[in-house]
Amino acid sequence: MRIFAVLFFLLANVAGAVDVGLAGVIGSKAILVIDGGSPRTLAVGEQHSGIKVISVRSDSVLLEIDGKQRSLKVGQNVTSTSSQEGATARLMADNAGHFFANGQINGRLVKFIVDTGASNISLSASEAKRLGLDLSMGTRIALSTANGTTAGLMIKLNSVKVGEITVHNIDAVVTEQDMPFVLLGMSFLNRTSMERNGDVMILKQRF
């Protein structure tokens, strides 16, 4: 197997943008540099920070970035600005006044309920398993609940999408308690402005 090594420099610093470069290819795996971070090796079908590897050739890869396919050769980089400020999500309240939204976590469909009292996005361990989340790098934490203190796991989600809004590298908490929905907490909501008009809530991405 041949490794193609290149120097990579982050050229863009646009709020909401994702910058990805192809630093090399090892067999059927791509070596990507995302937002100037450490090189990350991804196989076909794997994804990180909203970047999914579709196919790998000897000196190029086909990626899916925010739903759009882009081809990169070794040494090239591209900046996606589809998740910039101004993207919006429109949510409707149910009869009890709760705001629900269909969305995605790491490209997988989920049902959110807005919870401004939750510090982070929160989901059950069973939901995390369904989504195929890697919990091995999570940090164990103690959570205060109405029934006392329970254990939880703090993790990072590659991407969370609601409406037109997509954010990357966002904190979330996994709990053992079963929940019918994923709580859309402040780790997501803090990156938006919220406007409510009766039964309608409009979220607008800030960064």
How does pLDDT run across 79-107, given as a tens digit for each residue?
Answer: 765 445 578 999 999 999 999 999 999 98
Fold of the domain spanning 18-80: SH3 type barrels. (2.30.30)
Mean local confidence (pLDDT), 101-115: 94
Mean local confidence (pLDDT), 63-81: 79
What pLDDT score was predicted for residue 144? 76
Torsion of CA 189, 192, 197, 200, to 10 degrees: -60
Q: What is the mean pLDDT of the chain?
A: 85
CATH 2.40.70.10 spans which residues of the chain? 88-205
Mean local confidence (pLDDT), 102-124: 94
Closest to 101 (Cα-Cα) out of 109, 112, 87: 112
CATH number for 88-205 (one of 3.40.1080.10, 2.40.70.10, 3.40.228.10, 2.10.240.10): it is 2.40.70.10
CA separation for the pair 26, 88 (Å, rounded): 39
Chain Cα centroid distance, residue 193: 19
List all residues 6 or more positions away from 128 whose beta carbon is below 8 Å from its beta carbon. Answer: 135, 155, 174
CATH 2.30.30.830 spans which residues of the chain? 18-80
pLDDT band at 78 (very low <50, low <70, confident <90, very high): confident
| Alpha-carbon distances of 136 from 140, 155, 175, rounded to whole Å | 10, 9, 14
List all residues 6 or more positions away from 89 whose beta carbon is below 8 Å from its beta carbon. Answer: 101, 162, 163, 164, 165, 192, 202, 203
Query: Residue 14: pLDDT above 60?
Result: no
- pTM value surpassing 0.75: no
Name the percent of the chain lying above pLDDT 70.
86
Name the percent of the chain lying above pLDDT 90.
57
What pLDDT score was predicted for residue 129? 95
> Is 79:21 a contact under the CB 8 Å cutoff?
no
How does pLDDT run across 125-158, given as a tens digit for each residue?
Answer: 999 999 999 999 899 998 876 667 888 999 999 8
| Element spanning 116, H or E | none
> Is 108:132 a contact under the CB 8 Å cutoff?
yes
CA separation for the pair 177, 156 (Å, rounded): 19
